[in-house]
């Protein structure tokens, strides 16, 4: 029986430049369309004190230099025991589409391992789904040093077919992939 009941869902995320915020909101939109009661929380702006009322917890993070944001990582540490009793999904926003377009499948696999599989192992988690998405490169939101360090990427991004729109911003996400993952997650969460 396909229960379209309102599975209480928490999406909590960490972001550096805002891309994971938009991804989290899109995931929530799809889950709501699937009948899930969903709230979205930026872990930097709001500290979650209790997750007992949620059946499904989705934890997301932006990635930089192979690391999760501190807030998302702290959430996993703080609620590690409780997450073992929940349906859990995790996702990250990364630069995977750049490597994919360049045919660097080993880089994609290595990044996925660091971002998801190593994190799951670190906390002994058992997620029902793991999402490995692309994010946004926004040079306008980076500090001077990061912008300077990442500056070499601009010509490569344009060569790979990513448009700079608006100036300084490269959208790397595949929204269809993100929505499809959320619909698949809804199916798994109902089982």
Give pLDDT, residue 86.
96
> Sorting pLDDT into bands at 50, 70 and 90, what band is 2?
very low
Task: State the total domains in the chain.
Answer: 2
Give pLDDT, residue 96.
86
**151 and 80 within one domain:** no
Distance CA 26, CA 34 (A): 13
> Sorting pLDDT into bands at 50, 70 and 90, what band is 113?
very high
φ/ψ of 52, rounded to 5, equals -60, -30
What are the residues whose beta carbons fall under 8 Å from the beta carbon of 110, sequence distance 6 or more? none
Give pLDDT, residue 6.
81
**82 and 154 within one domain:** no
The 10s digit of each residue's pLDDT in 26-82 is: 999 999 999 999 999 999 999 999 999 999 999 999 998 889 999 999 999 999 999
Asked whether the predicted pLDDT for residue 176 surpasses 90, the reply is yes
Average pLDDT (182-187) is: 98
**101 and 21 within one domain:** yes
To the nearest whole percent, how much of the chain has pLDDT over 90? 70
Over the chain, what is the mean pLDDT? 92
Give pLDDT, residue 1.
35
Flag whether 144 is in a domain: yes
**109 and 66 within one domain:** yes
Q: What is the pTM of this model?
A: 0.91
**146 and 56 within one domain:** no
Flag whether 105 is in a domain: yes
Angle (nearest 5°) at CA 164 between 160 and 168: 125
CB-facing half-sphere around the CA of 138: CA atoms within 13 A: 14
Distance CA 38, CA 6 (A): 9
Domain that holds residue 109: 8-135+173-190
Flag whether 3 is in a domain: no
Average pLDDT (82-90) is: 97
Give pLDDT, residue 5.
60
**109 and 59 within one domain:** yes
Give pLDDT, residue 18.
87
Distance CA 85, CA 163 (A): 43
Give the tokens for residue 22. Answer: 């938009």
Average pLDDT (170-190) is: 96
Asked whether the predicted pLDDT for residue 144 surpasses 80, the reply is yes
Distance CA 21, CA 182 (A): 15
**99 and 69 within one domain:** yes
* CATH number of the domain to which 57 belongs: 3.40.50.360
């Amino acid at each position: 029986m396909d229960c379209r009941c309102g599975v209480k869902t928490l999406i909590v995320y960490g972001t550096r430049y805002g891309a994971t915020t938009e991804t989290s909101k899109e995931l929530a939109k799809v889950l709501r369309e699937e009948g899930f009661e969903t709230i979205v929380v930026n872990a930097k702006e709001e500290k979650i004190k209790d997750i007992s009322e949620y059946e499904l917890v989705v934890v997301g993070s932006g990635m930089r230099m192979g690391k999760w944001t501190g807030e998302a990582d702290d959430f996993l540490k703080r609620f590690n025991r409780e997450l073992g009793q929940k349906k859990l999904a995790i996702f990250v926003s990364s630069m995977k589409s750049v490597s994919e377009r360049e045919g660097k499948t080993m880089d994609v696999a290595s990044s996925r391992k660091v971002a998801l599989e190593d994190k799951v192992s670190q906390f002994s988690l058992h997620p029902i789904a793991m999402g490995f998405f692309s994010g946004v490169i926004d040079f306008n939101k980076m500090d001077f040093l990061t912008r300077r360090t990442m500056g070499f990427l601009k010509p490569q991004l344009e060569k790979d077919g990513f448009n700079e729109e608006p100036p300084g911003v490269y959208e790397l996400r595949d929204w269809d992939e993100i929505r499809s993952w959320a619909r698949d997650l809804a199916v798994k969460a109902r089982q």
